[in-house]
Amino acid sequence: MSRNYELLQLMEKQSAPFAVADDGVVQRIFLDHAPSPPRVVVFAAIDHGNGCSQIALSAAETLGARTCLVEANFRSPALPGMLGISNDLGLTDALQRPGDIRSFMKPLRRDGMWVLTAGPVGEDSPGLLSSESMRARIAELRREFDFVLIDAAPVSPYGDVIPLGKMSDGVVLIVEAESTRREAARAAVDHLRACRIPVLGAVLNKRTFPIPEFLYSRL
């Protein structure tokens, strides 16, 4: 049995909507929940290299106006390189210095999409994610934007997603086709729910063959 099929079965049992990276992520995670969609959402991969940053960026670009993409992955920040922008100011600065949140951000498009990169990171930076300053900044982002998408560190090696998940409306897990282990995905879902963090869904990335129709119809 393929890992694709096993992961689909797992998420179905866990009642987590399953989207495919190139088809319907925004629709299934956000728009299908109108008129009260989740507004602050954490994107977190199961493991390194599952494509979380790219998926979070694509979702933010699709949502467009009044959307902010926040890089809270202090373990392997990737957005500055992907976007060709500087990382001279970012989230770490916003968590340790006063000032309007937009003063630490960069506009990406004229329609009102912004990005808050990680900023300079060090060994102690991950501890900032559970701070009262982080909670205050997320509250500020809620006031400033319609949607806030947070790119977090992978779930399996780190616990960074837990404080972020508790401050958000829920977590979207990124799994990689033919790579993510079923046991790791199950453990991630169980751990988040044990911490009373909603699992809003999962995104299957790098799919190499179609999902069977009878399963796709249930997504």
Burial 110-146 (b: 16+ CB within 10 A, else e): eeebbbbbbbebeeebbebbbeeebeebbeebbeebe
The count of residues in the chain is 219
The phi and psi torsions of 202 (rounded to 5 degrees) equal -135, 150
Q: Who's near 67: CB < 8 A, 6+ residues apart?
A: 60, 112, 113, 114, 145, 146, 147, 148, 149
Q: What pLDDT, on a 0 to 100 scale, did the predictor assign at position 5? A: 44
Fold of 3-216: Rossmann fold (3.40.50)
Q: What is the structure's pLDDT at 207?
A: 55
Beta bridge partners of 176: 205
Positions of the chain with pLDDT under 50: 1-8, 15, 18, 20, 22, 208-219
Q: Where do the domains of the chain lie?
A: 3-216
The pLDDT assigned to 11 comes to 52
51: helix, strand or coil: coil
**pLDDT attached to residue 144:** 95
- Full-model pTM: 0.85
Predicted pLDDT at 64 = 85
- Rounded Cα gap, residues 68 and 57, in angstroms: 10
